[in-house]
Amino acid sequence: MRRQMYAKPMTTARKSLYVCLIAGATVASQAAEYRVAVDPDVGAARVEIRLAEGESSDLFSMPAWAPGDYRIVNFGRHVRDVKFWQGADEIPLKDGRANGVNAWRASRPGDKVTYTVLAQPPGIFSENLRITATEVFWNGPAVFGWLEGHAKEAHSVRVETAPVGGVFVCPLSGVLDAKSSERTFTAKDYDSLVDSPVVFGTTISTRTFIVSGKEHVLAAFRRPASLSLTDFETTCRAIVTEAQSLIGELPYARYVFFLDVGGPGGGLEHADSARLAIPPGVRSTGVAGFLAHEFFHAFNVKRIRPKPLGPFDYTRPAITSTLWWMEGVTDYYAELLTYRAGLIDQEEFLANLGYAVDYAMNSPAAETVSAAESSRRVWEANNSSGFGGLSYYDEGKAIGFCLDLAIRWKTGGVRSLDDVVRTLYAETSGGKPGFGDGRIRDVCVQVGGSELAGMYDACVERPGPLPIRDALAAHGLFFDGRGIQRSPNASADALRLLSQFLTR
């Protein structure tokens, strides 16, 4: 990710402008059926969860946090009127909320729960639930709760009623019922359901392009007329193509760029999509690094990840010391992808890396807080960017650059950080578990040699200036106190390594 009132019941079909049905797959391991009716007049969504026949639960929960935003936000704060049912009979709640603000327990198990979700202010990185007369956007954790014991089964999403002439966009695969205009979208489990944003309405513009047989959708909303989707296709296609060249595959069936034009916040990644706040009227090259950052999260965070970042526990903080890699190294690869794709030139590329090195060398916080500690304790800071004043975005970007140069230097240009990324991807993608503590360090040593162990520890585990000067010199570069410069006395070997690094 990157920064950048319930008044009355819904009474008429006209007021219920948008109605969606989230239905369990018709298999033995059927999950809950979720019915969602969104009313623009009152700014609320009414949700019904019905379990399969013979199934029951007495505990309903909402997420405490949303993956990608490392803060406790307690989505249950925006939920009202929770009721359990068995058939047509309402079941009383037992002692109100069972787990603080985000959970409710019934006095006995039931097969259905109903609740109301209020339209919510945006988070740091994304809208949560936004409802207007012509457009609806939701981020899954803000809307969908779960019944205990029923989060692992397959789900599908069926839109019962969409606005006339409107557009419905979701990364989940689906089909269209031509007779009724109903749409059905499938999700393998609750994690996938809440990781799939939805936008629908009459004001949405879309454009589709194909890379290696995979569909990529640009969905612009809120103020879509101010963007050229043809322009954005050119840049997004270049980024996707370069990322595939790096990794060797595209790990999704379909990917959606949700372009919230004039929307608040920054960007929030999902496995098969990203929601991005785009300034009105901007050219795509002006936000290429932002687009690349959020897109690369489809590989790094959503596939390459530590164990706490999937499968998720939505009830407590997912503590990891590797957010410097998840966010900062993703930012480093945003620079690499845009440079390799020809979207920025050599001088801009080196200047951008110089800004990150300047932060790592001159930030007062770097003298007292390590990248690992900034990552691990971010939940205490409640800012989703780092503990103790140290940004794991900026520090991690500089660390990625440092480790890349060190690996190239110590292997004579034979290996690079690309090899670390591909190794971690092979170990954690395709539904495999996330990596354990110390695995990034182990792979850096495996790829770059034993000297990388000390370099890694100095970069990640200990506070202090970034140990990058020797690796820069080995590439004919130096840090002048503010940025990166080329050395006039570089050796032939250094110029060769620099040429390899800068080869697109």
pTM: 0.94
All residue ranges of the chain with pLDDT < 70 are 1-31, 96-100, 158-165, 175-182
Sequence ranges of the domains in the chain: 18-201, 204-297, 299-504
| CA 409 to chain CA mean position, Å | 33
> Distance between CA atoms of 253 and 1, rounded to whole angstroms?
21
Return phi, psi of residue 79, to 5°.
-105, 140
Tens-digit pLDDT profile for residues 347-358: 999 999 999 999
| 138, two tokens | 């939701």
Q: Please choose, from the candidates 376, 333, 381, 377, the residue with its C-alpha nearest in 3D space to the C-alpha of residue 356.
A: 333
Helix ranges (DSSP H) in 19-173: none
CATH class of 204-297: alpha beta
From 3.30.70.20, 3.40.50.300, 2.40.30.10, 2.60.40.3650, which CATH number describes the 18-201 domain?
2.60.40.3650
Pick the CATH number of 299-504 from 1.50.10.20, 2.30.140.10, 3.40.50.300, 1.10.390.10: 1.10.390.10
φ, ψ of residue 347 to 5 degrees: the values are: -70, -40
How do residues 253-308 score in pLDDT, each as one tens digit? Answer: 999 999 999 999 899 999 999 999 999 999 999 999 999 999 999 999 999 999 99
What phi, psi does 257 have (nearest 5°)? Answer: -95, 105
Which candidate, 212, 214, 211, 216, places its Cα nearest to that of 229?
A: 216
Placement of tokens 């205990």 in the chain: 148
Reference 444, options 461, 464, 469, 463; nearest CA is: 461
Bridge partners of residue 28, in order along the sequence: none
pLDDT at 14: 37
What pLDDT score does 221 carry?
Answer: 97
E strands present in 202-345 = 205-211, 214-221, 254-261, 267-270, 273-278
Q: Which residues pair with 167 in a beta bridge?
A: 201
- In this prediction, residue 178 carries a pLDDT of 60
Say whether 299-504 and 204-297 share the same fold: no
Asked if omega into 92 is within 30° of 0 (cis), the reply is no
Taking only Cα atoms into account, the Rg of the chain, rounded to an integer number of angstroms, comes to 24
Least Cα distance to 137 among 252, 225, 28, 224 occurs for 224
Contact 14, 23 (CB under 8 A): no
* pLDDT number for residue 176: 66
Distance CA 137, CA 170 (A): 10
Task: Give the per-residue pLDDT at 314.
Answer: 97
Q: Which two structure tokens, joined as six digits, stand for 238?
A: 């270049």
Whole-number pLDDT of residue 416: 98
DSSP H helical ranges for 307-391: 323, 330-340, 346-362, 371-376, 378-381
